[in-house]
Amino acid sequence: MTNQDRDTTESSSGGVSLLNVSGDYAGQRIDNYLSARLKGVPKSRIYRLLRTGEIRVNKGRAKPDRRLEAGDVIRLPPIRVAESEVRRPPASLLKRLEDAIVYEDDQLMVIDKPAGIAVHSGTGIDFGVIEGLQVCRPDVPGLSLVHRLDRETSGCLLLCKDRRLLPELNRVLASGAFDKRYLALVCGEWDGGRRSVRAPLALKRAGDQERRNEVNLDEGKSSETVFLPRERLNGFTLLEARLHSGRMHQIRAHAAHIGHPLAGDDKYGDRVRNRALKRFGLKRLFLHAYHLSFAMPGSGKPIRVEIPLAEDLQSVLERMKAPGR
């Protein structure tokens, strides 16, 4: 490994440090990068330091999702961590994540993400998938998320164990060469067969924290979801959804846009029908990432993982189909 492959740290006045980002970390999000470098510092504090501009990249402010480039210079203020702030993910979370691993090799890991666990920490969330798995795999310092799932969505979640591969995987993901398929229960009787929804989505903020994507023909980013009906269930329809882009809440926003909101969706959904579904045992968003396939950059090795519908969602379907329902 050459010096260009290693991060370097320089001291500045007033206890300020300057981190020079090596090519080894190119493509990694700055929040994940700093969480790994600033051991013991809560991610909530990292977000606050980024938001207030105390942490800067190339002398400018940076959002938590900014992807680093080789040669970036990160300015860090003096950061002290009280012993009471240093926390470790609970053993119960670590066990759930270990048990959720369905595929692993030298470069990749795929887990069956449990519903209710966020992919990373944030406001009001101390630990997510990535923080837990970084504890489970202390010998894999480059472990990173390749994509994300909503907190209440279960199923295939891909992680990269070699940060040098992450930019390549991100490019494959952005090109649409990832085949990502979901199972979703939507409200209403589906009319016809396959339907492609091409509707640009723009991120909107409602209040201080809530974010949602809305169809906006003028300001939205191009987005496409293909829906295929699987089963009709007396006022509801089980669909397969295939993503041809990767916007936040894309399936949820597109389904609501065409008048078929997802069952159990408290942000884009139908509150009346969501209440009615509780009698079938639905306690969360009915969305499960069941299929992930792509060719590895460079080698072309095919990667394919399928995870059956989560047990809690399968139970809901069985209750809905039971005689007398």
Q: pLDDT tens-digit profile of 40-71?
A: 787 788 888 999 999 999 999 999 889 999 88
Residue 279 is given by DSSP the state G
Asked if residue 115 lies in contact with residue 310, where contact means CB atoms within 8 angstroms, the answer is: yes
Dihedral angle sign, alpha carbons of residues 313, 238, 271, 150: positive
The gap between the terminal CA atoms of the chain, to the nearest Å, is: 64
- Residue 237's Cβ-count burial label (10 Å; 0-12, 13-18, 19+) is buried
* DSSP summary character for residue 81: -
Backbone angles phi, psi at 241, to 5 degrees: -120, 130
At residue 80, the pLDDT reads: 73
| This model's pTM is above 0.95 | no
Tokens of 26: 């190119």
Q: Is the dihedral of CA 140, 144, 146, 151 positive or negative?
A: positive
Considering the chain, what percentage of its residues have pLDDT values greater than 70?
91
Q: What is the CATH number of domain 3-78?
A: 3.10.290.10
Indicate where the chain has its CATH 3.30.70 domain(s). 92-160
Where in the chain are all domains bearing CATH 3.10.290.10? Answer: 3-78
pLDDT of residue 87: 67
Cα–Cα distance between 15 and 137 in angstroms, integer? 32
Q: Using the structure block, give the residue that is written with the tokens 């085949």.
A: 179
Q: Closest by alpha carbon to 38, among 19, 25, 13, 10?
A: 19
Q: Are 221 and 215 spatial neighbours (Cβ–Cβ below 8 Å)? A: no
Buried b or exposed e, range 250-272, using 16+ CB within 10 angstroms: bbbbbbbbbebbbbbbebbbbee
- Catalytic, 112? Answer no
Rounded mean pLDDT of the chain?
88
What CATH architecture is 92-160?
2-Layer Sandwich (3.30)
Report yes or no: 271 and 294 within 8 Å, Cβ to Cβ. no
Positions of the chain with pLDDT under 70: 1-14, 81-87, 123, 206-210, 324-325
Q: How is domain 176-321 classified at the architecture level of CATH?
A: 2-Layer Sandwich (3.30)
Catalytic residue among 150, 162, 208, 265: 150
Phi and psi based region of residue 207 (left: phi greater than 0; alpha: psi -120 to 50; beta: remaining): left
